[in-house]
């Protein structure tokens, strides 16, 4: 056996040390990954809370808009009824004016 063979071949301790270093590296990476996942979970949880708050606000706005639109719809229906009554009254008034005009014309021509 020559001296070059001894220096180039790793000893069992060296192999075990390398394996142990690799294991530590993998564990550190998994720990780092676990921390990153935890941070992401916290951020997502915070976003979920914000989305829930926004959803509640939107629901409240939707209810307010529904009430206002219902109120406006009732007002519009009421105005439409009043307009129809006024239209009918105007038509009746025009007919009465025509009748009065005819009566006046007949009396004047006599």
Q: Where are the domains of the chain?
A: 10-109
The answer, as to whether pTM is greater than 0.85, is no
Query: In a structure prediction context, what are the per-residue pLDDT tens digits for the chain, which is 110 residues long?
Result: 555 555 667 789 999 999 999 999 999 999 999 999 999 999 999 999 999 999 999 999 999 999 999 999 999 999 999 999 999 999 999 999 999 999 998 888 76
Angle at 42 between CA 36 and CA 45, to 5 degrees: 140
13, two tokens: 């301790």
Q: What is the DSSP letter of 11?
A: P
């Amino acid at each position: 056996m020559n001296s070059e063979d001894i220096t180039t071949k790793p000893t069992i301790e060296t192999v075990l040390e390398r394996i142990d270093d690799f294991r530590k590296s993998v564990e550190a990476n998994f720990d780092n990954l676990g921390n990153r996942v935890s941070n992401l979970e916290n951020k997502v949880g915070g976003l979920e809370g914000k989305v829930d708050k926004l959803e509640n606000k939107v629901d409240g706005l939707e209810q307010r808009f529904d009430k206002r639109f219902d109120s406006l719809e009732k007002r519009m229906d009421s105005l439409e009824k009043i307009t129809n009554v006024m239209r009918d009254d105007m038509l009746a008034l025009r007919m009465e004016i025509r009748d009065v005009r005819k009566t006046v014309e007949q009396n004047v021509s006599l």
